[in-house]
């Protein structure tokens, strides 16, 4: 006879937790996305924007932003029974990029958030993950008042590798954010499986 304790221990061992990065330019909605989907109170390392920071932080198009992430955001979401995602939101400004190498260790993949008003801001994140062969999806955060572009247009503008998914989302909406994460997990799973097959072929 199997005890309840044995069953719960088996469940814990069969549970899988995957590490996901949420990256993108300054003010694109990374903290918002992590907060919207997280089932726990998200950890945030935000500081008020200072006058000194105005010299290096381009706030054009995000004039109402008053805080910025200086280390990372952290949240957790359960996709289905036995599968949880640990979300790490990266800082967007150049001066904090030294943290990216630490955060990306052991990551399954990444979400690169994009704002069509400032599309060039996500180029560094796209380059970072492409050069390190970390699977990623581009999630276009559809801001109110921003001109809408189709996924194909964004893919062309960013010169993405063939097959890299581009999805439209609302970073404030839990269901929308969860759909982005599911797309990433599916895509990263296919990429890792293909690499494994190549390595044994």
Q: What is the pLDDT along the chain (201 residues), one digit of tens a residue?
A: 544 554 444 455 568 999 999 999 888 999 999 999 999 998 876 555 444 444 444 545 545 544 554 457 899 999 989 999 999 998 876 666 678 898 899 999 999 999 999 999 999 999 999 999 999 999 999 988 888 889 999 999 999 999 999 999 999 999 999 999 999 999 999 999 999 998 886
- What pTM value is reported for the model? 0.80
Token reading at 60: 């054009």
Q: For residue 188, what are the β-bridge partners?
A: none
Per the CB < 8 A criterion, the answer to whether 111 and 21 are in contact is yes
Per the CB < 8 A criterion, the answer to whether 85 and 116 are in contact is no
């Amino acid at each position: 006879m199997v005890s309840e304790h044995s069953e719960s221990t088996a469940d814990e061992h069969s549970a899988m937790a995957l590490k996901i990065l949420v990256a993108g330019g300054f003010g694109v909605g990374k903290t918002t996305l992590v907060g919207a989907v997280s089932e726990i109170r998200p950890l945030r390392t935000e500081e008020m924007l200072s006058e000194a920071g105005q010299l290096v932080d381009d706030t054009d198009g995000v004039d109402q932003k008053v805080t910025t992430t200086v280390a990372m955001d952290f949240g957790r979401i359960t996709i289905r029974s036995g599968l949880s995602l640990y979300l790490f939101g990266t800082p967007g400004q150049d001066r904090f990029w030294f943290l990216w190498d630490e955060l990306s260790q052991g990551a399954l993949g990444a979400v690169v958030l994009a704002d069509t008003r400032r599309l060039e801001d996500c180029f560094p994140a796209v380059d970072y993950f492409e050069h390190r062969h970390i699977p990623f999806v581009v999630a276009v955060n559809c801001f109110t008042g921003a001109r809408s572009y189709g996924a194909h247009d964004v893919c062309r503008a960013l010169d993405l590798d063939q097959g890299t998914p581009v999805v439209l989302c609302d970073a404030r909406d839990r269901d929308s954010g969860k759909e982005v994460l599911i797309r990433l997990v599916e895509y990263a799973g296919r990429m890792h499986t293909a690499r494994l097959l190549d390595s044994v072929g």
